[in-house]
Chains A and B, each alone.
Chain A
Amino acid sequence: MEVLAILIPVSLFLGFMGLAAFIWSLRKGQYDDPAGDSQRILDPRYDDKPKPVEDDQRG
Chain B
Amino acid sequence: MSTATIRPSACPACDAAPAAEALATRAALPDAKILVSVPAVHCAGCISTIERDLAQMEGINSARLNLTLKRLSVDAKAGIEARDVIARLDRLGYEAHELDAGTLSMTETERQGRELLMMVGVSGFAMMNIMLLSVAVWSGAEGATRDLFHLISGLIAVPTVAFAGRPFFRNAWKALRAGRMDMDGPISIAILLTLFISTYETLQSGEHAYFEAVVMLIFFLLVGRYLEFRARSVARSAAQELAALEVPRATRLVGGVESVVSVADLVVGDIVLVRPGGRVPVDGVVTQGQSELDRALLTGETLPVFAGSGTQVSAGEVNLTGPLQVRVTAAGKDSSLHRMADLVANAESAKMRYTTIAEKAAAAYAPTIPILSLGAFFVWFWISGGDLRLSLNIAVAALIITCPCALGLAVPAVVTASSGKLFRKGLLIKDGTALERLAEVDTVVFDKTGTLTMGTPEPTNLDEHSVDDLRVAMGLAEASSHPLAQALAKALRGQDVRPARIAGLAEVPGYGVEGEWQGQRVRLGRADWVGAEAGAMTAAYLAIGDQAQGFTFADQLRPGAEAVVRGLQAQGKDVWLISGDVPAVVGDLAQRLGIAHWQASALPADKAAKIDALHAQGHRVLMVGDGLNDTAALSTAHVSISPASALDAARAASDMVLLSSDLSPVADAVRLSKTAMQRIRENLWQSGIYNIIFVPIALFGFATPLWAAAVMSISSISVTLNALRLK
- List residues of chain A with CB under 8 Å of any chain B CB: 1, 4, 8, 11-12, 15, 18-19, 22-24, 26-29, 31-36, 39-45, 53-56, 58-59
Contact = CB atoms under 8 A, between A and B. Distances in A.
Q: Is the interface of A mostly helix, strand, loop or mixed?
A: helix
A27 B44 contact: no
A32 B23 CA distance: 20
Q: Is the interface of B mostly helix, strand, loop or mixed?
A: helix
Contacts of B121: 19, 22-23, 26
Given A1-B145, A55-B62, A56-B62, A18 B125 contact: yes
Contacts of B48: 43-45
A59 B71 contact: yes
Contacts of B148: 4
Contacts of B122: 19
Interface string B117-138: 1100110010011001000000
Given A12-B129, A29-B11, 13 more contacts: A11-B129, A22-B125, A27-B12, A31-B117, A33-B69, A34-B68, A36-B65, A36-B68, A45-B48, A45-B52, A56-B62, A59-B64, A59-B66
A47 B10 CA distance: 28
B156 to A, nearest CB: 8
A33 B22 contact: no
Interface in B549-596: none
A42 to B, nearest CB: 4
Contact of B118 (A23, A34, A56): A23
A39 B114 CA distance: 23
Contacts of A53: 19, 22
A13 to B, nearest CB: 11
Contacts of A36: 47, 65-68
12 contacts: A4-B145, A8-B152, A15-B125, A27-B12, A28-B13, A33-B66, A34-B68, A35-B67, A36-B47, A53-B22, A54-B23, A59-B66
Chain B interface size, as a band, is 35 or more
A58 B64 contact: yes
Contacts of A18: 125
A45 B11 CA distance: 25
B675 interface: no
B75 interface: yes
Contacts of A19: 121-122, 125
A40 B125 CA distance: 28
A54 B68 contact: no
B240 interface: no
Query: What 5 A-B pairs have minimum CB-CB distances, sorted nearest first?
Result: A59-B66, A36-B67, A42-B44, A39-B44, A27-B13
Contacts of B10: 29, 58
B616 interface: no
